Structure 1
Amino acid sequence: MPMDARDIEKLILEALPDARIEIRDLAGDGDHYAATVISEAFRGKSRVQQHQMVYAALKGEMGGELHALALQTSAPE
């Protein structure tokens, strides 16, 4: 069963309440998304650490309901 973009956003916001999030459904199938996540929590962290934080927020949905998520992450400017 595909995952809704609102559910992805909700999970990320639970872990990163200050995050600004933009999610795009790349294939229209609810399985392939691109997300831009901007959060102060990312400041001083490597890109890998930032992505790990987002994947942790998704609570194991990657590879299950959510097949692919292309991430762009950063701290606010």
Structure 2
Amino acid sequence: MDTSTVQNLIQQGMPDAKVEVHGPDGVHFEALVVSPAFAGKLPLARHRMVYATLGELMGGAIHALSLRTLTPEEAARG
């Protein structure tokens, strides 16, 4: 597994999102996902939305994924 594959999977599942993924070891990844779909949702719901794009890879090929999920407004505030 590589960062571009993880990024592409999230992007395909959330086409309106801006996605950045880092993970030099190929099993532990960090992702920043900015999407208007997160508006009004709690962090756990946001994370579930991202996990759903990765399906069975979570816990398998992707051992760990650290997420930062923001709306575009939250991202603009820094």
Gaps of 5+ in 1: none
Paired AA for residue 19 in structure 1: A
Partner of 1:9: 7
Q: Following TM superposition, by how much is the alpha carbon of 1:62 offset from its aligned partner in structure 2, in angstroms?
A: 0.8
| TM-score, with structure 1 as normaliser | 0.89
TM normalised by structure 2 equals: 0.88
Question: Alpha-carbon deviations, 1:31-70, whole Å to 9, x = none?
Answer: 0111110001111111000000000000121111010110
* Cα distance in 2 between the residues matched to 1:44 and 1:18: 16
- Higher-helix-fraction structure: 2
Query: What RMSD over aligned residues (CA atoms) do the two structures have, in Å?
Result: 0.8
Q: How many residues align?
A: 73
Distance 2:33 2:49 in 1: 11
Structure 1: 4+ residue segments shifted above 3 A: none
